[in-house]
């Protein structure tokens, strides 16, 4: 006789109950993700193939995509945003890590110094940017006056296309309090006996930093790098305010203010997205901008994850 196999027992009510409980506990996350990520993402894809101005909706196929890739302002704003990712983010991370490393060595007054270095991150973005523009004013700002006292001719910081993005980088480095505190917590969590063992083996301070500190804080470095890149890809407020204040432009009727002053050097892709969608009412084109930003964030994130994984393996 052929062997017969018994049918698997039906799932018990206990398992069904556990599954329902799991769904119940996950429901806030599932509902929130569906409403605030999945639906907007699918809607953005849908509108990217339509001409949409909040009142009329017309299917145009790939016309919006072709328009975006032929728009010189998109190319310029994307290049400015890429500059911030490549130069500003590493500068912020290195400066924050250096300040955190310095604070681990300070014994007397460490709490006061930590507070002083953290305070700039509490300043509102608009107020901090306006203050920085006035501090770096080439005619009346104290920075150029101090440089002139030492015989150095200060540049036209936010009025020059060559210095505008480095000026924003200085502003970003000034406000690295949050990143610095994260690095400080990671550095203080490195076991002391690892440094002691490395010192006994004759490792120099640089060798200890490379072989002990960096591997131990690599997850924090990865987190800070990824969040920094995503923040740079969404860079909007500081660039817009600095450009507007430096140019003296306003939003009043008849204003001659051009976003990205000077010469479009401070025009970022999020700014161009905003003006395209909410001033020109080209929502379909703005949706393409948003999808490009999302794709760039995913690509940079995957690249960083891959690089950190290779570094850990080596």
pLDDT per position as a tens digit, 21-80: 888 888 888 899 999 999 999 999 999 999 998 888 999 999 999 999 999 999 999 999
pLDDT-based confidence at residue 284 (cuts at 50, 70, 90): very high
Whole-angstrom distance, CA of residue 64 vs CA of residue 51: 8
Distance CA 161, CA 264 (A): 8
pLDDT (tens digit per residue) in 81-136: 999 999 999 999 999 999 999 998 887 777 888 888 899 999 999 999 999 999 99
Distance in angstroms (rounded) separating the CA atoms of residues 158 and 178: 25
Contact partners, residue 17, CB within 8 Å, separation at least 6: none
């Amino acid at each position: 006789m052929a062997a017969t196999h018994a049918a698997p027992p039906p799932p018990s009510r206990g398992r069904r109950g556990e599954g329902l409980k799991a769904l119940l506990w996950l429901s806030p996350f599932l509902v929130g993700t569906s409403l605030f990520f999945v639906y907007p993402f699918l809607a953005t894809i849908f509108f990217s193939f339509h001409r949409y101005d909040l009142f009329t909706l017309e299917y145009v196929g790939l016309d919006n995509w072709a328009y975006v890739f032929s728009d010189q302002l998109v190319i310029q704003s994307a290049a400015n945003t890429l500059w911030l990712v490549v130069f500003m983010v590493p500068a912020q991370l290195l400066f924050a890590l250096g300040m955190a490393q310095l604070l681990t060595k300070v014994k007397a007054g460490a709490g006061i110094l930590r507070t002083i270095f953290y305070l700039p991150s509490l300043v509102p973005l608009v107020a901090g940017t306006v203050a920085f523009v006035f501090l770096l004013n080439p005619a009346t700002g104290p920075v150029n006056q101090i440089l002139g006292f030492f015989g150095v001719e200060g540049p036209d910081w936010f009025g020059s296309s060559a210095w505008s993005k480095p000026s924003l980088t200085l502003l970003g480095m000034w406000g690295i309090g949050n990143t610095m505190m994260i690095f400080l917590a990671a550095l203080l969590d490195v076991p002391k006996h690892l440094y002691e063992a490395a010192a006994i083996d004759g490792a120099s301070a640089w060798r200890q930093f490379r072989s002990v500190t960096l591997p131990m804080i690599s997850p924090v470095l990865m987190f800070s790098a990824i969040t920094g890149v995503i923040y740079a890809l969404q860079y909007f407020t500081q660039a817009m305010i600095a450009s507007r204040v430096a140019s003296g432009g306003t939003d009043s009727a008849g204003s001659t203010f051009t976003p990205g002053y000077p010469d479009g050097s401070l025009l970022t892709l999020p700014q161009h997205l905003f003006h395209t969608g909410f001033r020109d009412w080209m929502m379909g084109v703005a949706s393409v901008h948003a999808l490009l930003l999302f794709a760039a964030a995913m690509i940079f994130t995957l690249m960083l994850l891959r690089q950190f994984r290779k570094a850990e393996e080596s």
